[in-house]
Chains A and B, each alone.
Chain A
Amino acid sequence: MSTERLIEVPRARVKVRRSTHSPIFTIIGALVLVCLLTVAPWIVPAQFATTLTNFFILVIMATMWNLLAGYAGMVSIGQQAFVGLGAYATLYFAIKGLNPFVAIPFAALVCAALAVPITYLLFRLRGGYFSIATWVVSDTALLIIGTIAVLGGGTGRTMPGLQNLSPGETAHFSYLATWFVALIVVTGTYVLLRSRTGLVLASIRDNEVAARSAGVNVRAARRSIFVIAAAGCGAAGAVLAISQPFIQPSNEFNLQWAAEMLFVSMIGGLGTIEGPIIGSIIFFVLQQSLQQQGAWYLIIVGALAVVIALWQPRGLWGAFRDRFHTELLPVGHWVEPGESGP
């Protein structure tokens, strides 16, 4: 009988380091890209700037949806609530005389503030019931906004405060606004995920029960992510309302926003920063090339998302990363053994 086996606890020191290689190339590349995208409207034709605006609106939304679902495990199909509320908050501030561009951060704040009480209702449900309840919230917001005459009611109205700008200037400025919001949202998400919160979210995602027993306040973490995502989608709604300045409930609160956020994140890869951006690129290429074919781009993108969810749940970027072991924007931590101590 050989049962002698004592448990030996190694007293090794461990080093915790950030994943992957030195980020210097990534940083330089990112800076070049940021400069290029900032000067883009001076270089590219005007209608291309509009396309880029729409692209970055999608990037903002998808990044926020990815934060919700990919990192905090909340499948919301009602994020269009905050897109719409952000748009209407901007409209309200503009009616009150504020410059719509200045109103963008305030619209985001309004959405964050509204999101707090909403979480107290929504968090009573879990899983799929949570998902549909987010949709009910969005539907309710749409119906309530539709009854407010000063905001244009059900038929909509034009954003004031933009009349003294030429259409070209509006396109130009709304591109810049959208691009800066996207930059802030993506960088902010990156910083958030590299912070302690990112670690907390990863622990919840891996094992909620274990995270809870390790002292993580799961509910509070989820709540703050929901509020942040609401603010982000609110900002997206604000720039949407400026770039397409006729504001109508059925457009701003369109379920299609949720569908696009979801598809783009799924295709690119949930739970990565890069995924939603790559998904947005694929989405836009498909949308632009199938422009003449009506809703077919949405059918193809949706089918692609379903196929990816079933057979490649880490998305295209996830698959790519698994194969080549590379990350552009690493958020992970690696524990390596250091020299053994006494």
Chain B
Amino acid sequence: MSAALLEVESLTVHHGQLCAIDDVSFTQRQGEVLAVVGANGAGKSTLLRTIAGLHRPTSGCVRLDGKDINDLSVSRRVALGISLVPEGRRLFSSMTLEENLQVGAYHANPGPFDIKRVYELFDWMPGRRKQSVWQLSGGEQQAVAIGRALVANPRVLLLDELSLGLAPIIIEKIYALVPEILAQGVSILIVEQDVSQGVSAADRVHCLLEGRTSMTGTPAELTSEEIDRAYFGAGLVAPAVTSGVVE
């Protein structure tokens, strides 16, 4: 078993008075794909944003290589090797495809990825590098967002809702990249609402329900029924409630 890369310990995050993440702990190991799944509003995005430094936790901490990074700014965390591909892609809309990658590369760590390498990964990009990003399709924009994070050469890549709003065939193509990225020594933390997608790509699955950990394990250990229960909460899954009435 390889060393712990990213540790989340007893993390609690509030949005105002609302508790979005409640005492969540897990460990991501070097070279591992960890999938955090959960329904809408389970706190998945908040979790990733807190790891990236966009939210401050109420309590608990995030550690990288055993060092507490709670007090570091977003940009310091990027320098240490945490890159987030945010939900909704969030490309720089006034810029071209290539300029988006150049921004990502400006503060890059040394490593295997650069703009040239990203162009090899997505062979359609070089021909369209001068295009404005708003002219690209949703899937293409997602690819640019991933490329922009990769050129910073992260040690752990946080992917937030990659599949949101994309056609299944596109999602499949994007997930096909996971092994290639992994092969370069980048660990991946995926957040997905789409359970099957998250589970099939992951080495381990962590399920959130209303901000708490409801289940954790490897895909091989878990039955789909268990996952469903952890995803929706007990008693709310149709097969488990024969009468159809919720007490």
A adjacent to B, CB under 8 Å: yes
Taken residue by residue from 201 to 215, chain B's Cβ proximity to chain A (1 for < 8 Å, 0 otherwise) reads as 000000001101011
Any chain B CB within 8 A of the CB of A3?
A: yes
Q: Which of B58-66, B170-178, B228-236 contacts A (4 or more CB under 8 A)?
A: B228-236
Within 8 A of A (CB), among B104-163: none
Q: Which residues from chain B contact A4 at a C-beta distance below 8 Å? A: 233-235
Any chain B CB within 8 A of the CB of A6?
A: yes
Question: If the complex has contacts A1-B214, A1-B215, are A6 and B229 also in contact, measured as CB distance less than 8 A?
Answer: no
CB distance from B214 to the nearest CB of A (A): 5
Any chain B CB within 8 A of the CB of A196?
A: no
CB distance from B70 to the nearest CB of A (A): 25
CB distance from B240 to the nearest CB of A (A): 11
Do A1 and B233 have beta carbons less than 8 Å apart?
no
Taken residue by residue from 231 to 246, chain B's Cβ proximity to chain A (1 for < 8 Å, 0 otherwise) reads as 0011100000000001
Any chain B CB within 8 A of the CB of A96?
A: no
Any chain B CB within 8 A of the CB of A124?
A: no
Within 8 A of B (CB), among A1-15: 1, 3-6
Do B247 and A5 have beta carbons less than 8 Å apart?
no
Do A3 and B246 have beta carbons less than 8 Å apart?
no
Give Cα A6–Cα B212 distance, bound, in whole angstroms: 15
> A1, A5, A6 — which one has the most chain B CB atoms within 10 A of its CB?
A1
Question: If the complex has contacts A6-B246, A6-B247, are A1 and B230 also in contact, measured as CB distance less than 8 A?
Answer: yes
Do B215 and A6 have beta carbons less than 8 Å apart?
no
Count of interface residues, chain A, beta-carbon cutoff 8 Å: 5
CB distance from A341 to the nearest CB of B (A): 21
Chain A residue with the shortest CB-CB distance to B247? A6
Q: Which residues from chain A contact B234 at a C-beta distance below 8 Å? A: 1, 3-4
Query: What bracket does the count of chain B residues touching chain A fall in?
Result: 10 to 19
Give Cα A78–Cα B246 distance, bound, in whole angstroms: 60
Q: Which residues from chain B contact A1 at a C-beta distance below 8 Å? A: 214-215, 226, 229-230, 234
Do B230 and A6 have beta carbons less than 8 Å apart?
no
Do A3 and B247 have beta carbons less than 8 Å apart?
no
CB distance from A287 to the nearest CB of B (A): 41
Q: Which residues from chain A contact B212 at a C-beta distance below 8 Å? A: 3
Q: Which residues from chain A contact B209 at a C-beta distance below 8 Å? A: 3
Give Cα A5–Cα B246 distance, bound, in whole angstroms: 12
Give Cα A317–Cα B171 distance, bound, in whole angstroms: 57
Q: Which residues from chain B contact A6 at a C-beta distance below 8 Å? A: 235, 246-247
Give Cα A176–Cα B234 distance, bound, in whole angstroms: 72
Taken residue by residue from 1 to 31, chain A's Cβ proximity to chain B (1 for < 8 Å, 0 otherwise) reads as 1011110000000000000000000000000
CB distance from B217 to the nearest CB of A (A): 11
Taken residue by residue from 316 to 336, chain A's Cβ proximity to chain B (1 for < 8 Å, 0 otherwise) reads as 000000000000000000000
Within 8 A of A (CB), among B178-232: 209-210, 212, 214-215, 226, 229-230
> A1, A3, A5 — which one has the most chain B CB atoms within 10 A of its CB?
A3
Give Cα A18–Cα B235 distance, bound, in whole angstroms: 43
Give Cα A4–Cα B234 distance, bound, in whole angstroms: 5
Give Cα A1–Cα B212 distance, bound, in whole angstroms: 11
Chain A residue with the shortest CB-CB distance to B231? A3
Do B229 and A5 have beta carbons less than 8 Å apart?
no
CB distance from A292 to the nearest CB of B (A): 50
Give Cα A169–Cα B107 distance, bound, in whole angstroms: 74
Q: Which residues from chain B contact A5 at a C-beta distance below 8 Å? A: 210, 233
Give Cα A3–Cα B210 distance, bound, in whole angstroms: 9
Q: Which residues from chain A contact B215 at a C-beta distance below 8 Å? A: 1
Q: Which residues from chain A contact B226 at a C-beta distance below 8 Å? A: 1
Give Cα A199–Cα B94 distance, bound, in whole angstroms: 40
Give Cα A156–Cα B215 distance, bound, in whole angstroms: 80
Taken residue by residue from 89 to 105, chain B's Cβ proximity to chain A (1 for < 8 Å, 0 otherwise) reads as 00000000000000000
CB distance from B88 to the nearest CB of A (A): 18
Give Cα A298–Cα B2 distance, bound, in whole angstroms: 67
Give Cα A6–Cα B234 distance, bound, in whole angstroms: 9
CB distance from A269 to the nearest CB of B (A): 23
Give Cα A3–Cα B230 distance, bound, in whole angstroms: 7
Give Cα A1–Cα B229 distance, bound, in whole angstroms: 9
Give Cα A4–Cα B214 distance, bound, in whole angstroms: 10
CB distance from B191 to the nearest CB of A (A): 19
Give Cα A6–Cα B229 distance, bound, in whole angstroms: 14
Give Cα A149–Cα B215 distance, bound, in whole angstroms: 83
CB distance from A222 to the nearest CB of B (A): 25
With A1-B226, A4-B233, A6-B246 given, can you name 18 additional A-B contacts, CB distance below 8 Å? A1-B214, A1-B215, A1-B229, A1-B230, A1-B234, A3-B209, A3-B212, A3-B214, A3-B229, A3-B230, A3-B233, A3-B234, A4-B234, A4-B235, A5-B210, A5-B233, A6-B235, A6-B247
B residues sitting closer than 8 Å to A (CB atoms) are: 209-210, 212, 214-215, 226, 229-230, 233-235, 246-247
Across the A-B interface, the 5 shortest Cβ-Cβ residue pairs? A3-B214, A4-B234, A3-B234, A3-B233, A3-B209
Q: List 15 A-B contacts (CB under 8 A).
A: A1-B215, A1-B226, A1-B229, A1-B230, A1-B234, A3-B214, A3-B229, A3-B230, A3-B233, A3-B234, A4-B233, A4-B234, A4-B235, A5-B210, A6-B246
